[in-house]
Structures are given as structure tokens and as C-alpha cells.
Structure 1
Amino acid sequence: MEKRWIRKPAPDPDKVRHLADALRVNEAIISLLCQRKVCTFEEARAYFRPSLDSLPDPLLMRDMDRAVDRLVRALHMGEKVLVFGDYDVDGTTSVALVYSYLRSFFGPERIDYYIPDRYKEGYGVSDAGIDFAADHDYELIIALDCGVKAVEKVAYANQRGVDFIICDHHLPGTELPAAVAVLDPKRADCPYPFKELSGCGVGFKLMQAFTQNQGFPEEPLHELLDLVAVSIAADIVPIVGENRTLAYHGLRLLNDRLHPQRAGLDALRELAGIQNAELNISSLVFGFSPRINAAGRMGDAKRSVAMLLAESTEEAKEKAGVVDKTNQERRGFDTSITKEALEMIEQDAMLRTASTTVLFKQDWHKGVVGIVASRCLDKYYRPTIILTESNGKATGSARSVIGFDVHQAIEECSELLDQFGGHMYAAGLTLPVENVPAFREKFERIVAGRILPEQMIPPVEIDQKIQLSDITPSFFNLLRQMEPFGPGNSNPVFESEKVYVTPDSARIVGNSHLKLTLTQDGRHTVDAIGFGLGEYLEEIQRGQPFSVCYTVEMNEYRGVKTLQLRVKDIRWE
């Protein structure tokens, strides 16, 4: 697929020189910092050494004082608390964090957790969950990673004498639920300075405020930041500001092999085959997230929470094994449904040329439609919605291209929907089955009238041009200090011009991957791999110079570590 190369603007050269003199660091690295709005010595110090002392005061969040007062009242009045969370990674890590932290204060007999059944109860706060709380004398529910749109459900809970504290990070509707407190940085009236916390991050802020209110030491709470890091990675929130600080310290916990914090994640790490690797955001996304998510997608998300809460190595391995097996089942559904979905597009001339992909099939597994939407987006780069039937309704997931707000486009079809919610790039929706054709037509019309032609070409954002000779071990070590990488603080992408492949080095590996050795001046060479770029082999072998864009990584093979370029795209001069 053709890609759109977007070269980021060069930073102010005076700022680069000034910061380079202050830090005595390679100017290429300083340019990267300035592109990320890190332009002073103080900003650089905070960037390279994120401090938990710099976290914003949790009481700046709207309703936080009310939430803490209600939680403290529950603690001192002997009330029972139910921790309620969504069934995805963000929800289950939120539940594990809040439940495990509060259990030490409330005791196991006064606190429990509840994850709704994806298929029987659907997304978010449910009548069944409220009934469970009321029937078992829970007077307070803490809802995590859900609830900001649960106006009717919270009203029902109030009728049954159950209070709610909502900790959410999704976009609110026009009316907020009548809860004791609605904690959501995206509330229009919320002055909290950082708006992009994960759901687990909002739960962490509630625990932080509770801890400060009661004068408890914060160290035990900070030991739960590994869960926050996993949630940040899985929910693809920007890794800037407070998220970057939380992820930085969470990863430090995860990589402290001498003092492992969580037996469940340690067991999962082994099953993912990354027990000897240093974890980063990418390894959390690809190693942890699918396995934790699979429990909720394929059945009971409580299995993931039980794994995260496991206290012994033996229990952790047993729980992680169940979660991993569930993920293997998920892969089977994922592969077969993706194949079927792509065939539906390829066999329909209108679908092939449309501005959107909207597919519906009654018997697709509800637990993998979000994954299938992402797979279809990778193949046909355009806003995508995959729907299946559940409880007599069409329900599914949406994914979007860079720069296009799919949540807003879905909202404009709201008269055809029962419910919807989510973010700019990912959303969920439910509608009557008979409305699917009308929804597909209107959604296509809205998107086609608004999306720009260039938004339907996958972008590759390039930070700066460098020479291959610039890529040295010391350069790479400086790059690594810019981690954790992720949205908003991406792994730098470099461009090098007039590059040649060394004789006989280019070859195909693993069916479609391009393996080669590059040179720019005949003296400096560096190995490279381009995943899925095997189609370029014939052109490369003609010997003409080309430009290449890539990230830099360390490759380990048979115990030997060498620098390697991960090629994103190639263009000929």
C-alpha cells in the first residue's frame, strides 16, 4: 500500500544549539527533543527523569473531593464496596488496582469486584451488576473505565439504595449520571490539567486522593503502577505528560527482575516468550494486552483479574495458563473472521471503492470484532465498522484512520442507534438489526463528504534526516533514554537519502519480509529489515539509489547484539 511521507518541521536552530550546549548531547537528539516541545534544561530533566512528585494534585479533578468523602464514609461506617470495571485491559487492570489497594483497608469481607459478562450484560454499568450489589448489601459501587454515560443505570441504582463513584475517561454525553461523583478529565467543567488519563489512571488518582486524605504513605500505592503502565499501553492513550510519568515508573517496576511485583504478569511474560527481554510499551501491547483482553472477549474477564491478583507463583501460572489458552481460542476466531471479512470486501465492487467499510454478519464472534476492524483497516485504510448480532441487536466496533473522528461521524447517525461511545479513533455501537442498511448508507455519506483524500493514505511521520554513519551504539543509547515510546512520544523515524543495498544482501525471509544490508558511502553499512516489504525486492536488486525511512533497534541473534534498522518504507530517487 502506498504511504504518505510526512516530514515534521525542523525545530528552531537557536533553541537546539542552546539546549545542546546545556546538555552536551548530539544535536540530532536535541532536535528530537525540541520537536517534542522539550526545549529547556528544566524540561529536559523532567523528560529524562519523570518524577512522581510532579503529578498534578488529584483534588483538581471535578468531584474528587466528593468521591473521597464518600469513600472515607464507607470506610469508617462499616459499609461494603463493590469495585465494578469494564472487561477489557483498561477495565480489568483498574479493578485489580483499586480492589487490591482498598482491600488492605476494608478487609476482604467488605469489598469485592464485579466484571459484567460481555454477552449477557453488554458494555458498561449493568442492571445485573446493580442488582448484585443491592442484593448483597453493597452500599457503594466504584465504576472504573465506564459509567460516564450510564444515566439510566445510575438512576436505577439510586432507586435501589446503591451509591456510585464513577471513574471514567471516555467522552461524556450531554447529561451526566446522578452519581455521588463523576470523575472524568474530559468533563467540560473539569479543570484537571491532564485530559488523557486511562481509566486505570483515573482510578489511580482516586486512590491517590484517598491516600493523601487519610495521611497514608504513598509507597504501597506506587507499587501498583505496573497495572497503570499496562492500561496505558493497551488503551493507546498519549504517552505524554502524566501518562508518560506513570508509564515510566510502571515499566521500572515491571523490569525490576530482582523484585518482581506481580506474579500474574510474571507468569504471562513467560507465556508470551519475553521473560528475558526488557519490557517496553510495545511488548506490553503485543505480549500482555491480547492475552488479558482474551478472557473478556471469549468468556469471563474475571479470569484476568484473578491472574493479576494472584499472590503465589503457582496460582499465577495456573491463572495465566487459562488466560493464554483463551487467547489461543481468540486467535482462531480472529483469523477466520478476518479472512471472511476481507473476502466480503474484495467480492463487492461498491465496498472496494467506498470511503468506509461497514460489515455485518450475524454469527461473527462478538469478542473479536474490534480486532477484525483493525485488520480490515490495515488492508483498506479507511474508517471501518464490524458488526455482529448479540441479544437480538447489531453490535460492534469502529476503528478510524489518522486525523478522522469516527466517534463524531457515528454520533451524527445517533437516531439509528441504541447506544454508542468511545474515542476519536475507536468506538463501540449497538443498533437494531433492521437499521444496519440505513446506518451503513448514512455513515458512508457522512464520511465521504468529510474525509480528505490524503487521510485515506497511511502516513509515515519522519522526524529528521540523518546519515547512516550517524547510527552508532552511543546514538542508540541516547535514543533509548527517550523511552517509553508510544502515541505522542513516538519512536523516532529517520530518513536517509541516496542509500544502496550491498551486493547480494537483499533477500526475502518469512514469506514477505525484506532483509538487506544498506550503505550510503561505501564504508558504513547497517543491517535492516522491512516487515511486509518483500514486494520491493526486485526493484532493489536493480541497484539504483533510494531513500529509506526507519526506526533504529537492537537485534539479538544467538546471543550477539547488533544495531538494525526497521524499515517503514522505501522510495526511489
Structure 2
Amino acid sequence: MKEKELHPAIEEHLKRQGIYGYKKREAFLHPTLKDLPSPFLMKDMGKGVELILSAFREKAQIIIWGDYDVDGISATSLLFLFFKELGYPVSCFIPNRLDEGYGLNCDSLEKLAQESPAKKLIITVDCGISNHDEILFAKKAGFDVIVTDHHTPPEKPVPADAIINPRQTDCPFPFKWLAGVGVAFYLCIAIRNMVFSNNNGKTIFNKPNLKLFMPFVAIGTIADVMPLTETNRVLVKAGFEILSSDQCQAGLKALFEYSGLSRSTIISENIAFQVAPAINAAGRLGQPEIALRTFTANKDGADSCAEKLISLNKKRKKICACDLEKALGIVSNNLPECNDSIIICDRFHDGLLGITAARLVDLYHVPAIVFSSDQKGTGQLKGSARAPAGFDLYRALSHCSRFIKTYGGHKAAAGLSVKAEYFEHFKACFNETAIQYQDTIESVSVNPATDCIELAVSEALDPVLLKNLVQLEPLGEANPKPLFYDPSAQFVSLSFFGSERKHVRGILRGTYRNIPFIGFSVGDKLNKALTGKTFGLIYSHLHDSYRFSSSWKLKIVNVWQ
């Protein structure tokens, strides 16, 4: 990249990320697939591929056991289409979130065993790493089992025939933070490598173009909030390239179109806040097969599948609004108890607990766990937990494990079940743990001097700057969007919207043209603002994408006079 093609503000941003000099900048802004580490560095990868090749030779049934979230749907779709393209059709199974819950379950395994031939293989994606008893059951039922997962492994490994998970302590794979779909993609690389070496390729009809499956990796990795650095950056960047091209899968094309998004410029925020919630809606409302059909649809069926998915998401939004209102009511009536953590239980929708917990974290900046009440009389309470940046949720739950029936997840998100009789004990234990870890929570305040780059609003839509912002993509976890500040910005116009006038939109004064902006939850700071007056402003950029057009505006993060 020529120096004149890099805006000084972006050069400063890269320096703050530890990226200095021409070569490092080029490697970061333009990563290539040759930068990917070998799949065979992953523990058990060779063993897993040999099991699959054996299944090919013996014409065994292969079942992909997935998960109902975006990462799981992406991984299941990727493997299904890969095997289809390879010339060896497989079947898929995704449990119902509301009836069966996360991971493997013995009832469905027994049913699958009765329906399957003598030789059968299960490949899990985005799940299985903690399903010790269920995998033991599957083995006794005649299944070979390959676990591909990315969640934290338990101390006692599951009795699978192969465990492919870079998070294993003795796994030499250099990057530990792949999404479940990233692990599945690496399995595909390894299978293709082995199938088409040593003359095995003569038995297979097609050689899949792996790059065509990379949009699934991009969507699943962003949705699961994985670090967008190193290996993930290479994978997601390549996925963006295919997403924006004519080679994009028909179902994904339709999903973007029905979401009202242009594919000309792919932005992580659009995937995280528009595409991913629509995919998740299917699983959350107990219909994950609709998301799977959308992802794997051909041209003829893609539109109808995408339309159903968008319709489900609208239904999900209505239920979420009701659950959040109920949750806020409970919290407001118990504020002294919620200073360090929020743990509530009521008749919340089982599939939307995580969304409600995440909104509580946004509002109160403490760990939040939302449980649904035991409406079926099982004696079990199902919960979903979220935590602010810096707080290790998985570690906190491990300290309370004596009161938890099952749990699993990451630092920032987890699912769990607790016996109703132990709920109050768990609540007290977790709150004590949250107090101990309180200092680990990162501050949400933004310091203009240390966290932002000074850039006048009048320069914010410089063409070189906007081009560089796209080159920084994918932006998100561990690769933050640049923040800028202008100590003397002026409003031309502003109007308030949303409940209690919390949000604002309007126009900022520019040198050659005025600049549109939007701000969320900053309405109270601008309630008495006067147009023409000078304000200090912290802002980022927002890319508006609609169908075949796109434009930029500014997003206000903070404002002061």
C-alpha cells in the first residue's frame, strides 16, 4: 500500500494496535489464505480424517450433529454442502432448543441408531466437548464419534474416537480462538487434502472449492464474537470476498436481500446486528431447520426460506421486548441485590434468555443470568448468562459448580441449568464470586486522549479514510473500530426518537458538505443542545447499506459542552 493510500488517522490507529511499518500494515490489511496454519497441527485431525475415509470406504452413514445458534447452523451447513459437493451425501441433525437443549442427547441418539445402518458416524460441530455420558451412549449404540468443537474442554475428556478442538491444552495448533465453524472448515481442508492424495481421489466425483464455503465461516465467527485477529481475520476476510461476489451461495444472497442489505461492501456490524439475529431467531423459537434450509437452499428455494426467516425474526423481536420489560421491572424492585450481579427467574421465553441477559449487561454493566421458571414441573431451571468485558463468566460459574447441574460456554456467555431447590444457594454463591471478580470488569468510559484519535468532523468522510475503514474489516472483538473525537463540532439540526427521547439523529456541520449522524442512548446529553453551538464529540463511522446502495454517516458515542 502506498503511503498516500493510508489516511494519517488510520495509520495512528494501526500504531495503537501495535501494527507498525509497511510490511506489518500490508500483512494486516491484506491477509492471504497462505497465512493459514496447517489443519494437521490440530490434535486428532489426522485420526478424525482417517475415520471419515473409513466411512467412505464402508459406505457408512454420516450424520452431522449441529447446534441451533448462528455458529452451529453455519458449521452444519458448511459440512453438509462440502460433503454434497465431494460426492458423499450426509444427513444433519440439529436439536430443538426448547425441547432438547444444547448438545447431544440420548433420546435422539437412540432414535437415530434405530434408523441407521450398522456402520454409522456422528460428527459434532460447535458442541460435544462436554457430552461425556451422551457420547458413551452413542458408542454403545454403534456410532463412531468425532467431536469438533471450540468450547472450553472439561478436565475429563469425552470418550469420542477423535476430539478436534484447538482449546485442548495439549493441542499444538497455534491459534486457540476459532469459532465452531472455523474448526469445521479446517476439518474440510484436511479431508480434501487426504482424499486427493495417495490416489484416493479416484473414488470421489468432485473436488470442492473450499473458498466458496468461507462466507459461513465469516458469519459464524462474527456472530459468536470470536477475536477477529490472526487466523480468524484471514478466514473472515476471505469470506467477505465471496459474500460480495456472484459466487455467494443462493441462500445467503437471499438472506442479505430480505434483510435489506447490499452485498457490495460487507461490514461486520451489518452481519452482527442484522444478519445474525435473523438466523438465531429460528433456533430461539424452536425452528432451527428454517435457518439450515436457508443456508443450504438452491436458487429456486432460497427466497421463500429467507422470507420465513425474516418473519420469525420479527416475531422474536416482539417477544424480546416483552421479556425485557418484565426483567427491568424485576430488577428495579430488587436494586440493592443487583449491584454486583443480576440473577432473575420468571416466565421468560426459554429461547430468548441470552438476549435478555445481554441487554441487562448493557444497561447495568454487571454479569447477568436470566432463568426461565420451571413451567413443566421438571425441578430444573434453565438459564443463560452474559458478562461485561473483562469478567470471566466460565470461571465464575466453575466456582459455583456444586449448585449447578450442567453448564458450558465462554468468558462472556454461557448456558446452565440449576435445580430449583438450589436456586437461592446458587444465587448467593455467584454474587459472592462476582464481588471477588469485580475489579476485572473493564470500564465502559471512553477517554478522548487515550482511546480516540483527533479528527475534525469536517474530515470524517474523506474518501481515503472511508476506503481504509473497509480495509480494516472485519472489525469487532479484539480488532476494534477506530474512535475519533472533535473538540469543536457543531450541530446543524437534531431530532429525538425512541422511548423517552433516548436516541437522536440529525446533521453535523462540515466544511464542504454537512454530515448525517445518529446517536443511541445519548439523548439526555443533547436534550438542551442548541444548533450552532460548539460541542466536544466522540464518534465512529456507520455504514448504511440498503439493497443496491450504501452510504456513510457518523455514530455519536459521547458528547459534552
TM-score, scaled to structure 2 = 0.90
Determine the C-alpha separation between the residues in 1 that align with 2:91 and 2:327. Answer: 40
Question: What do the CA deviations read for 1:185-231 (whole angstroms, capped 9, x no partner)?
Answer: 11111110111111010000011011111226876221111111110
The answer for the alignment partner of 1:449 in structure 2 is: 436
Contact 1:93–1:230 (CA under 8 A) maintained in structure 2: yes
Answering whether residue 92 of structure 2 is matched by residue 113 of structure 1, we say yes
Letter in 2 for 1:321: E
The answer for the alignment partner of 1:154 in structure 2 is: 135
The answer for the alignment partner of 2:109 in structure 1 is: 130
Equivalent residue for 1:201, pick from 182, 194, 204: 182
Equivalent residue for 1:338, pick from 324, 339, 342: 324
- 1:527 shift after superposition: 4.0
Determine the C-alpha separation between the residues in 1 that align with 2:22 and 2:406. Answer: 48
Unpaired runs of 5+ residues, structure 2, are none
**Equivalent runs, 1:149-298 vs 2, <5 Å:** 149-215=130-196, 220-256=209-245, 259-275=246-262, 278-298=265-285
Letter in 1 for 2:343: V
What is the DSSP-based 3-state SS (H/G/I as helix, E as strand, rest coil) of the residue aligned with 2:370?
Answer: strand
Determine the C-alpha separation between the residues in 2 that align with 1:143 and 1:559. Answer: 38
Equivalent residue for 1:423, pick from 407, 410, 435: 410
The answer for the alignment partner of 1:65 in structure 2 is: 46
**More deviation in 73-82 or 218-227?**
218-227
Distance 1:332-1:514 versus aligned 2 partners, 3 A rule: closer
- 1:517 shift after superposition: 4.2
Determine the C-alpha separation between the residues in 1 that align with 2:46 and 2:109. Answer: 24
Contact 1:114–1:129 (CA under 8 A) maintained in structure 2: no
**More deviation in 452-461 or 126-135?**
452-461
The answer for the alignment partner of 1:373 in structure 2 is: 357
Question: What do the CA deviations read for 1:68-99 (whole angstroms, capped 9, x no partner)?
Answer: 11111111121111110011111111111111
Question: What do the CA deviations read for 1:408-427 (whole angstroms, capped 9, x no partner)?
Answer: 11111000011101000000
- 1:519 shift after superposition: 5.2
Distance 1:543-1:324 versus aligned 2 partners, 3 A rule: closer
Equivalent residue for 1:360, pick from 337, 345, 352: 345
- 1:383 shift after superposition: 0.4
Determine the C-alpha separation between the residues in 2 that align with 1:542 and 1:104. Answer: 60
The answer for the alignment partner of 1:7 in structure 2 is: none
Answering whether residue 283 of structure 2 is matched by residue 304 of structure 1, we say no
Letter in 1 for 2:486: S
Distance 1:523-1:317 versus aligned 2 partners, 3 A rule: closer
Contact 1:519–1:525 (CA under 8 A) maintained in structure 2: yes
- 1:557 shift after superposition: 10
What is the DSSP-based 3-state SS (H/G/I as helix, E as strand, rest coil) of the residue aligned with 2:472?
Answer: coil
Answering whether residue 421 of structure 2 is matched by residue 434 of structure 1, we say yes
Equivalent residue for 1:383, pick from 367, 377, 381: 367
- 1:354 shift after superposition: 2.1
- 1:505 shift after superposition: 2.4
Determine the C-alpha separation between the residues in 2 that align with 1:266 and 1:561. Answer: 17
Root mean square deviation, CA, Å: 2.6
Determine the C-alpha separation between the residues in 2 that align with 1:277 and 1:336. Answer: 36
The answer for the alignment partner of 1:16 in structure 2 is: none
Question: What do the CA deviations read for 1:443-474 (whole angstroms, capped 9, x no partner)?
Answer: 11111132029746566782422333543222
Equivalent residue for 1:44, pick from 6, 16, 25: 25
Question: What do the CA deviations read for 1:219-251 (whole angstroms, capped 9, x no partner)?
Answer: 622111111111012111111111111111111
Letter in 2 for 1:35: R
Determine the C-alpha separation between the residues in 2 that align with 1:209 and 1:71. Answer: 11
Distance 1:563-1:360 versus aligned 2 partners, 3 A rule: closer
Determine the C-alpha separation between the residues in 2 that align with 1:558 and 1:42. Answer: 36
Contact 1:115–1:302 (CA under 8 A) maintained in structure 2: yes
Letter in 2 for 1:528: F
Contact 1:130–1:162 (CA under 8 A) maintained in structure 2: no
The answer for the alignment partner of 1:512 in structure 2 is: 502
Determine the C-alpha separation between the residues in 2 that align with 1:38 and 1:558. Answer: 35
Contact 2:391–2:441 (CA under 8 A) maintained in structure 1: no
- 1:29 shift after superposition: 1.9
**Equivalent runs, 1:451-466 vs 2, <5 Å:** 451-452=438-439, 455=442, 457=444, 462-466=451-455
Question: What do the CA deviations read for 1:300-353 (whole angstroms, capped 9, x no partner)?
Answer: 31221122111133x1122222222222222222111111000111122424x5
The answer for the alignment partner of 2:37 in structure 1 is: 56
Determine the C-alpha separation between the residues in 1 that align with 2:50 and 2:392. Answer: 37
Determine the C-alpha separation between the residues in 1 that align with 2:546 and 2:162. Answer: 53
Letter in 2 for 1:161: G
**Equivalent runs, 1:2-41 vs 2, <5 Å:** 25-41=6-22
Determine the C-alpha separation between the residues in 1 that align with 2:313 and 2:551. Answer: 33
Determine the C-alpha separation between the residues in 1 that align with 2:88 and 2:464. Answer: 51
Letter in 1 for 2:310: D
Letter in 1 for 2:392: D
Letter in 1 for 2:341: T
Distance 1:402-1:321 versus aligned 2 partners, 3 A rule: same
Question: What do the CA deviations read for 1:375-429 (whole angstroms, capped 9, x no partner)?
Answer: 1122222100000146621011101011111111111100001110100000010
Determine the C-alpha separation between the residues in 1 that align with 2:323 and 2:497. Answer: 27
Distance 1:561-1:293 versus aligned 2 partners, 3 A rule: closer
Contact 1:82–1:133 (CA under 8 A) maintained in structure 2: no
Answering whether residue 385 of structure 2 is matched by residue 398 of structure 1, we say yes
Contact 2:66–2:127 (CA under 8 A) maintained in structure 1: yes
Contact 2:222–2:272 (CA under 8 A) maintained in structure 1: yes
Contact 1:133–1:141 (CA under 8 A) maintained in structure 2: no
State how many pairs are aligned. 543
Determine the C-alpha separation between the residues in 2 that align with 1:34 and 1:198. Answer: 27
Unpaired runs of 5+ residues, structure 1, are 1-18
Determine the C-alpha separation between the residues in 1 that align with 2:508 and 2:454. Answer: 16
What is the DSSP-based 3-state SS (H/G/I as helix, E as strand, rest coil) of the residue aligned with 1:430?
Answer: strand
Identity percentage over the alignment? 28
Question: What do the CA deviations read for 1:510-565 (whole angstroms, capped 9, x no partner)?
Answer: 54332344459x88864432123221224432976442211134568999977532
What is the DSSP-based 3-state SS (H/G/I as helix, E as strand, rest coil) of the residue aligned with 1:507?
Answer: strand
Letter in 2 for 1:380: Y
What is the DSSP-based 3-state SS (H/G/I as helix, E as strand, rest coil) of the residue aligned with 2:31?
Answer: coil
Contact 2:457–2:486 (CA under 8 A) maintained in structure 1: yes
What is the DSSP-based 3-state SS (H/G/I as helix, E as strand, rest coil) of the residue aligned with 2:209?
Answer: helix
